[in-house]
Amino acid sequence: MIKKRLKIKSVTGFAHLGCLIVSNASKFKSTILLEYKGVTIDLKNSIKSIMELITLSIKPGTYFEISANGCDEHRAIQSIESSLSQILCIEPEKQGKYWTVSNDLFFN
């Protein structure tokens, strides 16, 4: 499992961003989750995921976390981060690295 923490820089409407994230997540076999303020959303539930993302009302200047677990987890995280970076709405956390989760311990 890997996790990536991202910061929302600016959003003109989270519906577009939500569609982009869910569309991207659906391309991969891994389980892909988004967590924001203690709420976790499975990004592979299509319409339900988009609606749940919209209701989170993620604000500019705040962080959310994307995690992936599966055979293509690295590619999934890279793809989501890349697509969000292209529309200039996110920036990685200052560490900018993946966190690998193993036996409930975090390794950088």
> Is there a domain that residue 105 lies in?
no
> Is there a domain that residue 108 lies in?
no
> Is there a domain that residue 107 lies in?
no
Average pLDDT, the chain: 80
- CATH number at 75 reads 3.30.1340.10
For 39, the domain range is 2-100
Q: What does the chain look like in DSSP terms, one character per residue?
A: -EEEEEEE---S-HHHHHHHHHHHHTT-SSEEEEEETTEEEETTSTHHHHHHHHHH-PPTT-EEEEEEESTTHHHHHHHHHHHHHHTT-EEE-TT---EEEETTEEE-
Residues with Cβ within 8 Å of 21's Cβ and at least 6 positions away in sequence, in order, are 34, 43, 53, 66, 80, 83, 84
Count of structural domains, the chain: 1
pLDDT digit string (tens) for 55-100? 888 888 888 899 999 999 999 999 998 888 777 566 666 654 544 3
> Is there a domain that residue 88 lies in?
yes
Rounded average pLDDT over 34-52 = 92
Q: Per-residue pLDDT for 103 more than 50?
A: no
> Structure pTM?
0.78
> Is there a domain that residue 106 lies in?
no
